[in-house]
Amino acid sequence: MVDIDTHTDATETFIHEMTAEYRDRMKQLVDENYNDEYFRSVGDERAVIEREFPRQAWEELYTGCLPPARQLNLVYEQGEPFGRDRDIVIGLIKQIQDEAKHGRLISSLAERVGVEADPITWEAPYQEELIGQVETAMNRDKPHLIAAGLQLSTEIMAAFMIRNLADYIEPAYPEIADTLRNDISADEGDHIHIGRLIGMRFATPADHALMREIAEEKYEFTARTLRSLHT
Ligand SMILES: [Fe+2]
Ligand SMILES: [Fe+2]
């Protein structure tokens, strides 16, 4: 017989340690690659908006919305969407809503300084990396396996990137910097929380090794994408 309490405790500890570890590693990765030195190589504050905002808007909409939409569908199929898992359903809908808001907000902030950042028309010079990143997050058939590659590992990256970006553009565009910090980074805690809920409810200790593997694969992909900004 499976001891439910031991099983839940083991998964809770695992998820707690995993999010803490990736939080530190993502912060380090972002600070090493997405920093003032990189921004200075791009140019002044406006040049950085021109270079970075279209990609950030694209990522909010694609990397931000598609995986939680898939999780919503998987929870509907595999969970109890009208009973036990109602909190997860509502949390995922809120996450999709937040990420769509972030994408639109970044586009409109860019337009305010005359930079076009419309994800419908934007073509990235490094779009293959970005698409690969979305595919790596989507390519799983269990909600907690998607959480391992997104909310529980690399998603926190967006908050660190936005923070560094806000610091750099602050001297010329203090209001844009404030909006980035207050209206975007502030939502990220909720998204990690929903990933934890999914992990706690759907993962068993037998899934832990695969979840680590998925998180690491996504980390490596994200690291390559960040480093590709320098080329
Ligand atoms: Fe976001
Ligand atoms: Fe998010």
Using the mean position of ligand 2's atoms as its centre, give its distance from the Cα of residue 146 in Å. 14
Average pLDDT over every residue of 143-169: 94
d(CA 161, CA 185): 9
Give, to the nearest 10 degrees, the angle between helix 127-138 and helix 208-228. 170
19 contacts: CB under 8 Å, gap ≥ 6 = 152, 153, 192, 195, 196
Fold of the domain built from segment(s) 4-228? Heme Oxygenase; Chain A (1.20.910)
Contact 60, 136 (CB under 8 A): no
Give CA 149 to chain center in angstroms. Answer: 9
- Of 214, 172, 175, 202, give the one whose Cα is nearest residue 48: 172
- Measured from the alpha carbon of residue 189, the closest ligand is 2
Asked if pLDDT for residue 5 goes beyond 50, the answer is yes
Using the mean position of ligand 2's atoms as its centre, give its distance from the Cα of residue 190 in Å. 8
Cβ–Cβ contacts within 10 Å for residue 126, how many? 12
Using the mean position of ligand 2's atoms as its centre, give its distance from the Cα of residue 172 in Å. 26
Give the rounded percent of residues in the chain with a pLDDT score beyond 70: 97
pLDDT at 209: 97
- Of 156, 158, 194, 186, give the one whose Cα is nearest residue 72: 194
Q: How far is CA 91 from CA 22, 211, 227, in A?
A: 22, 21, 32
d(CA 56, CA 127): 12
d(CA 154, CA 218): 7
Average pLDDT over every residue of 3-19: 83
Using the mean position of ligand 1's atoms as its centre, give its distance from the Cα of residue 164 in Å. 15
Using the mean position of ligand 2's atoms as its centre, give its distance from the Cα of residue 168 in Å. 21
- Measured from the alpha carbon of residue 180, the closest ligand is 1
Using the mean position of ligand 1's atoms as its centre, give its distance from the Cα of residue 206 in Å. 31
Give CA 203 to chain center in angstroms. Answer: 20
* Choice between 68 and 139, residue whose per-residue pLDDT is larger: 68
Mean pLDDT of the chain: 92
Transcribe 67-79 into DSSP letters: HHHHHHHHHHHHS
Give CA 21 to chain center in angstroms. Answer: 16
> How open is the CA angle 177-109-117, to the nearest 5 degrees?
125
Q: How far is CA 80 from CA 68, 92, 110, 113, 148, in A?
A: 17, 14, 41, 46, 20
7: confidence class by pLDDT, cuts 50, 70, 90: low
Using the mean position of ligand 2's atoms as its centre, give its distance from the Cα of residue 5 in Å. 30
pLDDT at 1: 47
* Choice between 62 and 2, residue whose per-residue pLDDT is larger: 62
Place of tokens 């569908």: 73
4: confidence class by pLDDT, cuts 50, 70, 90: low
Average pLDDT over every residue of 128-149: 90
Best-predicted range by mean pLDDT (4-13, 51-60, 87-96): 87-96
Using the mean position of ligand 2's atoms as its centre, give its distance from the Cα of residue 95 in Å. 7
Asked if pLDDT for residue 186 goes beyond 90, the answer is no
- Write the pLDDT tens digit of every residue in 47-60: 999 999 999 999 99
So where are the chain's domains?
A: 4-228
H or E stretch covering 31: helix 4-33
Using the mean position of ligand 2's atoms as its centre, give its distance from the Cα of residue 163 in Å. 14
- Measured from the alpha carbon of residue 100, the closest ligand is 1
Asked if pLDDT for residue 125 goes beyond 80, the answer is no
